[in-house]
Amino acid sequence: MNDKNKNNMGPKMPPNILYYLAVAILVTMLINSLLSFMNSSGTSKEIKYNEFIQMVQEGKIDTVEIQSDRLIGYPKAAEPTEPAPTQDPLASMFDQSKAAAADPKLDKFYTGYIYDEKLLETLNASGVAYSTPVNDRNPIVDLFLTWILPILLIYGASMILLNSLSKRMGGGKGGFMSFGQSNAKVYVEKKTGITFDDVAGQEEAKESLMEIVDFLHNPEKYMDIGAKQPKGALLVGPPGTGKTLLAKAVAGEANVAFFSLSGSDFVEMFVGVGASRVRDLFKQANQMAPCIIFIDEIDAIGKSRDGQIGGNDEREQTLNQLLSEMDGFDSSKGVVILAATNRPEILDRALLRPGRFDRRIIVERPDLKGREDILKVHVKKVKMSTKVDLKKIALATSGAAGADLANIVNEAALRAVRMSRMEVSQEDMMEAVEVIVAGKEKKDRIMTEKEKRIVAFHEVGHALASARQKNTQPVQKITIVPRTMGALGYVMQMPEEEHYLMTKDEMLDEITVNMAGRAAEEIVFSLQTTGAANDISNATKMARNMVALYGMSDKFGMMALSSIENQYLDGRQVSQVSSVTEADIDKAVNEIIDGCYKKAKGILEANRTELAEIAEFLIQKETITGEEFMEILAKYPNEAKPLF
């Protein structure tokens, strides 16, 4: 960073310096008054002027100091008196101490100055020495010591105190002196160290951003044809998909300065501070152009203003200043604004109009090829066995984001170290997938024999329903080892290929698989347990989506009954119908679940022998692979069993 930029980013004098100077002057005046009071108090006594003259005439005053506003008299020292010979010594001592307590000795008397032509004659006649104090101090030094120095000391102490308080209240490194300044972290290409080679699984997003990089490198070819650089691009997608990583890669590819902030950095408890920081940010950006401004979680300041009561809060002022700055800066200088959010539906419409954020770049969860490419990026820094099949890991992690895959690779490396291996194996990778999905094994949770049998038949019920239907995924693993996420056992299924659509039959078969665990409990043990809670929740959610979202209900047809809110976060449904229709939706959902449950019971009753044999094998081994499961199932001909 050059010297010019260093100077621009230095601390500034706070705008309310006059206020603190006034406070310092007031405190100094109070201190001077206190010192004056202390000097005038102590062993002195104020008397009336006539009493003062009477004491002079009676010879009780030794010297007098004539000041501009008062007369100060110093009394003569009292002569010691000897006690009478006949007096009791103890009584004499008692009388003297009593007198001293009643009338203590004073150092001086003072009275107000009154113009009196005979004052000097009276003093001379009484033989009283008098004088007037002479100020031999330098007036400049006196002014400095009395006023300027105390003001500077008090002002400096107040600045140190306020700076410390502002840091505790979230003022950051700059403290109070930088309340109105931007907290942007400035990165250059050599510090980010990230390029598009470090980002995988987001080819469409990289293609859109590469054009911005090319404009920063070669703006002339765009200007020649009359094209304008987009002022801003909004990165939208679920958490962990690499929005921040993409923004840093743009700065790394373009080799320009990178201003990185979070939307919450602009929001302070003092109204106007956020707007001041926005102004300071764009001022720095214009001085360092070409550069990139990245605002993460922009929904913190860009939330829609519709429906708000009042319009003078800190967030709205900050948003208005941001809108004004985005309209005011010249994009031809090479200033590009990137922002990221996973809640685009709540952003203010003024922020999203063309001319501000011209592009919306969707950063979705990666597909099968994208997950495999992301895994390849993360395993570069890890010692991997040559037998590791990343495609199988990608198949087993459908729906995972880039951050999830990075975590899986790291968990696999940690497991390899625990197992005292020098490289990561396929077993480590698959176990890491299970840790992320279901949690770690709980080896200290010991189930009773009855509970173990119930869980085994429950899980084998899921596996049999999956194997005996056409539109389901192959079984990869069955286990009854408890996990930290709360599962007492689970069936791991792995798709043979990536799917982007699901048919009605596939959804019904999936619901049937979920219902098969409870069906196995009732068929074998004639009881119901709490172990089916998660299965019932998943089945109900899928059935409700079929009715309310996908138009797969015979009763409602292709009518949209719900909408999705926060699609990049929880994706919860919001009803768009009346309470009467809601009751009909519940009935339709219940009919789907009830039909799939009856189908699951039919499959398990027809495969009762396989159910018992596989469950007993699972009880002995606690964990069996998909190959072992299929070997047992292959002993029984499919012709004798109804295939659903």
Residues belonging to the active site: 459
Nearest CA to 208 out of 318, 334, 113, 336 is that of 336
Residue 374: burial class (beta carbons within 10 Å; 0-12, 13-18, 19+): buried
**In this structure, what token pair is assigned to residue 361?**
């770049």
Task: Classify 106 as helix, strand or coil.
Answer: coil
CB atoms under 10 Å from CB of 150, counted, come to: 18
C-alpha distances (whole Å) from 60 to each of 55, 76, 128, 149, 466 are 5, 6, 9, 42, 120
Residue 318 near residue 279 (C-beta atoms within 8 A):
no
Length of the chain: 644
Nearest CA to 403 out of 157, 638, 202, 159 is that of 202
Nearest CA to 491 out of 533, 459, 516 is that of 459
Pairing of strands 129-131, 257-262: unpaired
Secondary structure (DSSP) of 42-99: SSEEE--HHHHHHHHHTT-EEEEEE-SSEEEEEEPPPPP-PPPTTS-HHHHHHHHHHH
Residue 4: burial class (beta carbons within 10 Å; 0-12, 13-18, 19+): exposed
How far apart CA 338 and CA 243 sit, in angstroms, is 10
Q: How would you label 623-638 residue by residue, b for 16+ Cβ within 10 Å and e otherwise?
A: ebebebbeeebeeeee
Nearest CA to 602 out of 464, 460, 459, 505 is that of 464
Question: Cα 215 to chain center, whole Å?
Answer: 33
Question: Cα 255 to chain center, whole Å?
Answer: 29
How far apart CA 273 and CA 177 sit, in angstroms, is 12
How far apart CA 246 and CA 240 sit, in angstroms, is 12
How far apart CA 197 and CA 267 sit, in angstroms, is 35
Q: Which residues contact 164 (CB under 8 A, 6 or more apart)?
A: 175
